[in-house]
Structure 1
Amino acid sequence: MMALRGLCSSLLPCLSSRSAVQFPKTASWSRWESWWGSCSLAHGESLPLHSPQQQSIRWKRARSVAPGPRQNQPRRHWITPELPAGLEAREQLSAENRAFLQQVVQDTYPAAAAAVSPLRTPPPERAPYTFKTRRCGLLCRKIGVMPQWTKTGKKILTTLLQVVDNHVISMSPSSQFGTTHRGQHYKAARKGLSSLVVGAESIDPTNLTDDYCRLFEASGLQPKRKLSKMIVSDHAVIPVGTPLRATHFRVGDYVDIGGRTVDHGFQGVMKRWNMRGGPASHGATKSHRRIGSIGFRRHNGRIMKGKRMPGHMGNTYRVHKGVQILRINTRHDVLWVRGRAIPGATNSWCMVWDTHVLPKRRLNLQTPPPMPTHYPEEDAQPLPEELVHPDLHVWDAPTIVFQVTEDDLKQKVRTGAKTALKAKAAAPAAAAAKAKK
């Protein structure tokens, strides 16, 4: 015990410099720091490891370091992408200095304007798309909701997702990915699964840290704002530096979309769980929006797990499965997907990949998607700017025409076209009756 206290006291001068002692960069780093710091007081007086004073110091430090819930703080082993906010103000760069830095960026990343990596290799050999194939996904930005109309006049709400400058940053084969914790969870070595890191939206590297910029040196691409890891099959691996466009999918494909829901903060039961609340009058005092009874002594004498109560609403990762793509804009790389229940607020990021819903995945097998992705240089003719589902009404086409038959008139369902046709058919009889009067 004395040797352990002596070792702790000898390491205390080094704790002030983080570069001298390298703590394990894991989620338990804060606990290591609180344990080492609690082995001695600020004045150098050592305390027994199990004394009440030492336990109180360790508890206070652990409570101050531990992050609060729902704060989504980055992990200890993550690399900080952006520089501190006050660093740019302290530098006081002139206009000439800023112009020089921008020129250095253009010379460092000459292919940024063309969005092509110098390490990009020719397309690999094609492999057939099977039922168990896992292709790479896309990083999209949700830009809003827009209505569409079918050829029969039915209104459909669609969500617009823009593929913003996606590139493959790095690749880990199954032999390497299978040794990681996440690879062991997916059994990558046995199933033949690799991992790809996809980046989206190029940004100015002058506002980023050196460690974050080094992540893109191997690919030769400009640093990206958003990074995400995709798990793919070995025969669906995409070479590093390959751009990913909206034509990675086709019109009519079914996809899964994952993202973080809108953060509503702490909410009551009426908004969080859509409860009725208490009475508005007749003796109700300060209980209009309360939950009411949550249990009683006779039934186990406790509150049951999963009881719906007030709490934090939103800001959780959700996946919307089995969504159909109705329209694609090849110029701006925009996807129109059916529905408006896509998780996330406007301008938030989301991931799009081939659906895992079995019935709809079989529909994608009828016309297999491009493997491993779409290469525009291989097209015999360039694709049109708008790719629209055959059931949707195209704005360049003539106005929608309704063909109403006598059988449709006999039905009780009313539409604008049927009502107009009935009024037109009844107009001569009404005019004749009016003339007789």
Structure 2
Amino acid sequence: MAKKTLGIIGRKLGMTRVFSDDGSVVPVTVIAAGPCPVMQIRTQEKDGYAALQIGFDAREEKDLNKPERGHQAKAGKGFYNVLREIRLDSTEGYEAGQDITVEIFVPGDKIKVTGTSIGKGFQGPMKRHGFGGLRATHGTEKAHRSGGSIGHNTEPGKVMKGKKMAGHMGARTVTCINLEIFDVRPENNLILVKGQVPGHRNGLVMIRKQG
């Protein structure tokens, strides 16, 4: 079983490029992450699993309903738009109100980043699945980008489950693994990740150490 590792919530600011020590250009994604206070601690004895609930993106108390205010007030760290649980092997050493910051990472760390991919709406099979399309000549009319036949004859007489067809593309939860941290800037709560991460600009991401 994979090790359950600590993580932090962040917001993808966009991509840029930086220079490494040898002068080469490195494309990076800039993520503003944390500080994320521990809002609640789940334990194996009480809840059946070990996890930390952390908060991100501060908001005003008046914007929350009464149950949300009561729950978040217990940690004494303010009020937040986003609450997420991070499952751990053990929660020993953590306490409510403790801040999780970008300093849990160092340059060179391998991480996995989870976000919501950019939604593309309803797309045809060529864009969605990379189909080649029908012939562009010899009588093909108004069907050049269609998916072709989708079923069988009398047996089994139905469209099989999982058939690649047109449909909603993107807007799914995606996790990229084995990404590398290029730099950590605690003074600005920034993490620079080599390459790209899922999601659009200003989208929420979860950054966890690679187990």
> Same-fold call, TM > 0.5?
yes
Work out whether residues 142 and 161 of structure 1, in 8 Å CA contact, stay in contact via their aligned partners in 2: yes
Matched, 1:354 2:209: yes
Q: Which amino acid aligns with 2:121?
A: G
Matched, 1:251 2:107: yes
TM alignment of 1:82-231, pairs within 5 A: 134-178=4-48, 188=49, 194-231=50-87
Work out whether residues 177 and 195 of structure 1, in 8 Å CA contact, stay in contact via their aligned partners in 2: no
The separation in 2 between residues aligned to 1:132 and 1:308, in whole angstroms, is 31
Question: What is the CA distance between 1:196 and its match in structure 2?
Answer: 1.1
Q: Which amino acid aligns with 2:179?
A: V
Gapped regions of structure 1 (runs ≥ 5):
1-130, 179-187, 189-193, 357-437
Question: What is the CA distance between 1:138 and its match in structure 2?
Answer: 0.2
Are residues 287 and 132 of structure 1, via their aligned partners in 2, closer, same or farther at CA, if it must alter by over 3 Å?
A: closer
The separation in 1 between residues aligned to 2:138 and 2:146, in whole angstroms, is 16
Q: Would you tell me which structure has more helix in proportion to its own residues?
A: 1
Percentage of identical aligned residues: 25
Question: What is the CA distance between 1:280 and its match in structure 2?
Answer: 3.5
TM alignment of 1:375-414, pairs within 5 A: none
Provide the alpha-carbon RMSD of the alignment.
2.1
Q: Would you tell me which structure has more strand in proportion to its own residues?
A: 2
Cα offsets for 1:346-370 (capped at 9, x unmatched): 11111111113xxxxxxxxxxxxxx
Question: What is the CA distance between 1:329 and its match in structure 2?
Answer: 1.1
Matched, 1:345 2:200: yes
Work out whether residues 41 and 91 of structure 2, in 8 Å CA contact, stay in contact via their aligned partners in 1: no
Work out whether residues 8 and 100 of structure 2, in 8 Å CA contact, stay in contact via their aligned partners in 1: yes
Work out whether residues 145 and 160 of structure 1, in 8 Å CA contact, stay in contact via their aligned partners in 2: yes
Structure with greater contact order relative to length (CA < 8 Å, sep ≥ 6): 2
Match of residue 177 from structure 2: 321
Question: What is the CA distance between 1:213 and its match in structure 2?
Answer: 1.2
Match of residue 89 from structure 1: none
TM-score (norm 1): 0.45
Question: What is the CA distance between 1:136 and its match in structure 2?
Answer: 2.4
Say which of 86, 106, 125 aligns to 1:269.
Answer: 125
TM alignment of 1:51-70, pairs within 5 A: none
Work out whether residues 165 and 244 of structure 1, in 8 Å CA contact, stay in contact via their aligned partners in 2: yes
The separation in 1 between residues aligned to 2:135 and 2:62, in whole angstroms, is 59
The separation in 2 between residues aligned to 1:347 and 1:243, in whole angstroms, is 22
Are residues 265 and 133 of structure 1, via their aligned partners in 2, closer, same or farther at CA, if it must alter by over 3 Å?
A: closer
Question: What is the CA distance between 1:149 and its match in structure 2?
Answer: 3.2
SS at match of 2:55: strand
Q: Which amino acid aligns with 1:354?
A: K
The separation in 2 between residues aligned to 1:355 and 1:303, in whole angstroms, is 40
The separation in 1 between residues aligned to 2:56 and 2:167, in whole angstroms, is 33
Question: What is the CA distance between 1:255 and its match in structure 2?
Answer: 0.9
TM-score (norm 2): 0.90
Question: What is the CA distance between 1:293 and its match in structure 2?
Answer: 1.9
Match of residue 97 from structure 2: 241
Work out whether residues 51 and 85 of structure 2, in 8 Å CA contact, stay in contact via their aligned partners in 1: yes
Cα offsets for 1:196-238 (capped at 9, x unmatched): 1100011112222222211112111211011101111225552
The separation in 1 between residues aligned to 2:193 and 2:43, in whole angstroms, is 32
Q: Rg bigger for which structure?
A: 1
Q: Which amino acid aligns with 2:206?
A: M
Q: Which amino acid aligns with 2:96?
A: V
Q: Which amino acid aligns with 1:238?
A: Y
Work out whether residues 266 and 312 of structure 1, in 8 Å CA contact, stay in contact via their aligned partners in 2: yes
Number of residues of Structure 1 aligned to a counterpart in Structure 2: 211
Work out whether residues 35 and 189 of structure 2, in 8 Å CA contact, stay in contact via their aligned partners in 1: no
Question: What is the CA distance between 1:243 and its match in structure 2?
Answer: 1.2
Are residues 152 and 300 of structure 1, via their aligned partners in 2, closer, same or farther at CA, if it must alter by over 3 Å?
A: farther
Q: Which amino acid aligns with 1:206?
A: K
